[in-house]
Chains A and B, each alone.
Chain A
Amino acid sequence: MLEIKNLHVKLEEENKQILKGVNLTVEAGKVHAIMGPNGSGKSTLSYVLAGRGGYEVTDGSATLGGEDLLALEPEERAALGLFLAFQYPVEIPGVGNMTFLRTAVNAQRKARGEAELSAADFLKLVREKAKSLQIDAEMLKRPVNVGFSGGEKKRNEILQMAMLEPKMCILDETDSGLDVDAMKLVADGVNALRDKGRGFLVITHYQRLLDHIRPDVVHIMADGRIVKTGGPELALVVEQNGYADILAEVA
């Protein structure tokens, strides 16, 4: 589904190389996790895949379902089925959460040549999904993420994911800042979407989320590369020993 080959990325403004040859393939139906020290390039990878500006791809490729992601605009990538749950969800004063969700859902439907959802159908769908994430109507009325707590913002990301039903979901530290119950809610939200046609790439620092979302594969990223790949047990090793051993081993 998602195929990243030898991806090299530097900052556009400075001569700083951040990704130094990332190779990674996420198959449909699978959940991959990425762990790695702060600053190793995990968020950068997710931003580059989603199409944020400020980065320059100097080598390598990234495709989704065979399509060259890097040649597309961010909205085209989204319409193709790519979704990024942001590490830091953005506050947008003046834009209601509901308006935002409806605009996004309909924009994607339009891009795919599907009919727009009627107001009533949309409302019904949002209510149902919001309920399972314990997002109340009040939160839906407020401007996007404005005045939301850290945990509310993360749940709002999962709500968007649930509404958009993407093919490839990238979650960047969606667990950070969540209390135990909220983490369970988020994990349930993710698990509800697990499907043989859908791939997940879950970036996290903690084993705890992976207790709820059982990953098929765990990667360790360090200094802009995937340095080790293994099964769920790799996350346990990190949890217990940190990265020192793994980094020493691959050095």
Chain B
Amino acid sequence: MALPQPKLAATEARLAGLSLPQGGWAEPARRDALARLQAMGLPARRDEYWRFTRPDALNAPDAAEAAVLEADEAPIFGTLDRLCLVFVDGVFDAEASDDPALDGVQIDRLANARDTDLHWARDIYGVLEQRGQTPVARPFAALNTAFATDGMLIRVTRTPVRPIHLVYLHRDRGSDAILHHVVRVEAGASATIIESGPAAARFNKCVEIDLADTAKLHHIRAQGRDHERSAVTHMFTRLGSESVFKSFTLTMNGRLTRNEMVVELTGDDAIAHVAGACVGDGDFLHDDTVFVTHDAVGCESRQVFKKVLRNGATGVFQGKILVKAGAQKTDGYQISQSLLLDDDSQFLAKPELEIYADDVACSHGSTSGAIDETALFYLRARGVTRAEATDLLTLAFLAEAVDEIEDETLRSEIVSRLDAWLVRRRS
């Protein structure tokens, strides 16, 4: 079916400025992805999953400029013992990075795909992304697979002693970055991957994660505080039996952030928890679009997303649990909530359940509300100032999402960043 004219025009305009990296094992996957993109076209406002979020800034051939935030607090997770891989405006900076030598882990660059043939990565690159294109099209992920300039190919064979930290620095106010990572965790191994930073004025990032049976991956991300940045990110995760995936994302500020999480539970008794906390003030739109597919027996999935919105900020949540026929004993949970700190802010939610098995327990809930006046008065009656009480209740609201982070150190770092964000806004 031919694309409608506006879509075709937008897609062609965007593609005109991009060139497909040539050569190496990734090229066939890139060509396939380009063909997919040309067939589906870039999103338009009428598309079912783009009704709440305008794709214009992401579609535009050029990235809008974004002021670079002047550092006013220590780099997040900066004191942690970890292996750092640094990207500046989407370009890998080997000088600034640690030596990518870590016992149990093999790390390669996508940019070197021409010189090395990584069979394991080739089996995943663009493959999980393509699986995630049905039933919902994700054009920016296809665009990413086709045009990503770099990224890390991380294969975990034995549990490493340190987490791997992908640091995304933003220095150029006009930067437009496309990164694509591939992660494979082998049976019995467990790893933690951290991502932090705004990355660029405009950032398109895709991560494909393949978890073997009994593999474990913890993922923590903090998206940086630059106000004018925009980002569209995808994580495609496939879980083997008894594997565990736990992901948490912190988003503070950002004119436009669309985080898509596509999770496919393909092996029995696997566990996937995806959570996010975002705080937005003013010119801010944050969109969590999540799709969890249960395609095996006895799996558990949790989606916990909380948003704090003020000064006209917008939050979007589109979350789906699909339980396929035969996925008995599924335990699916989804909650999305927003705390509106004023009347100008808004939360748009589209929770969906689609179930084709009979022996399942699935629940979902979505709420939007203001600070609880009764609780606020109770705190103030004990001498806590209105500002401090409001912040306390705001952190309490976010707690269910933040508590999804198992590691105490990582969790308290996230809490302290949220607290600092709130304190900066105390009047």
**A residues bordering B, Cβ < 8 Å?**
50-53, 73-75, 77-79, 84, 86, 89-95, 99-100, 103-104, 107-108, 111, 143, 160, 164
Evaluate contact between B388 and A90: CB separation under 8 angstroms: no
Q: Other CB < 8 Å A-B pairs besides A100-B392, A107-B382, 13 of them?
A: A51-B380, A53-B373, A53-B377, A74-B377, A75-B380, A75-B385, A86-B381, A90-B377, A92-B393, A92-B396, A94-B400, A103-B392, A164-B383
Which residues on B sit within 8 Å (CB–CB) of A111? 383
Which residues on A sit within 8 Å (CB–CB) of B384? 75, 103-104, 107
Report the minimal beta-carbon distance from B426 to chain A, rounded to whole angstroms. 13
Which residues on A sit within 8 Å (CB–CB) of B388? 103, 107
Evaluate contact between A94 and B382: CB separation under 8 angstroms: no
The residue in chain B whose Cβ has the minimal distance to the Cβ of A92 is B375
Which residues on A sit within 8 Å (CB–CB) of B380? 51, 73-75, 78
Which residues on B sit within 8 Å (CB–CB) of A108? 382-383
A86 to B382, CA, bound (A): 11
B399 at interface by CB-CB < 8 Å: yes
B5 at interface by CB-CB < 8 Å: no
Which residues on A sit within 8 Å (CB–CB) of B400? 94
The contact sample of 22 A-B pairs, CB cut-off 8 A, is A53-B373, A53-B377, A74-B377, A78-B380, A78-B382, A78-B383, A86-B378, A86-B381, A89-B378, A92-B379, A92-B393, A93-B396, A93-B399, A94-B398, A95-B396, A100-B392, A104-B383, A104-B384, A107-B382, A107-B385, A108-B382, A160-B382
A99 to B392, CA, bound (A): 9
The residue in chain B whose Cβ has the minimal distance to the Cβ of A95 is B396
Report the minimal beta-carbon distance from B376 to chain A, rounded to whole angstroms. 9
Please, how many residues of chain B have a CB less than 8 angstroms from a CB on the other chain? 23
A119 to B16, CA, bound (A): 61
**Given A53-B377, A90-B375; A104-B395 close (CB under 8 Å):** no
Shortest 5 CB-CB distances between A and B: which pairs?
A: A94-B396, A78-B383, A108-B383, A104-B382, A74-B380
B374 at interface by CB-CB < 8 Å: yes
From A73, A75, A78, residue with most partner B Cβ within 10 Å: A75
- How many residue-residue contacts, CB under 8 A, span A and B? 77
Which residues on A sit within 8 Å (CB–CB) of B399? 93-94
A53 to B374, CA, bound (A): 10
From A77, A84, A99, A107, residue with most partner B Cβ within 10 Å: A107
Report the minimal beta-carbon distance from B348 to chain A, rounded to whole angstroms. 24
A78 to B396, CA, bound (A): 23
Which residues on A sit within 8 Å (CB–CB) of B386? 73, 75
**Given A75-B380, A79-B383, A107-B383; A95-B373 close (CB under 8 Å):** no
Which residues on B sit within 8 Å (CB–CB) of A90? 374-375, 377-378
B397 at interface by CB-CB < 8 Å: yes
Which residues on B sit within 8 Å (CB–CB) of A77? 381
Evaluate contact between A84 and B381: CB separation under 8 angstroms: yes
A209 to B395, CA, bound (A): 38
A99 to B386, CA, bound (A): 16
Report the minimal beta-carbon distance from A242 to chain B, rounded to whole angstroms. 32
Evaluate contact between B377 and A52: CB separation under 8 angstroms: yes
A160 to B383, CA, bound (A): 11
Which residues on A sit within 8 Å (CB–CB) of B393? 92, 94-95
Which residues on A sit within 8 Å (CB–CB) of B398? 94
Which parts of B344-385 form the interface with A (CB within 8 Å)? 373-375, 377-385
Which residues on B sit within 8 Å (CB–CB) of A94? 393, 395-400
A86 to B380, CA, bound (A): 13
A164 to B384, CA, bound (A): 12
Report the minimal beta-carbon distance from A93 to chain B, rounded to whole angstroms. 6
The residue in chain A whose Cβ has the minimal distance to the Cβ of B380 is A74
Which residues on A sit within 8 Å (CB–CB) of B389? 75
Which residues on B sit within 8 Å (CB–CB) of A104? 379, 382-384
B36-71 interface bits toward A, Cβ cutoff 8 Å, 1 = contact, 0 = none: 000000000000000000000000000000000000
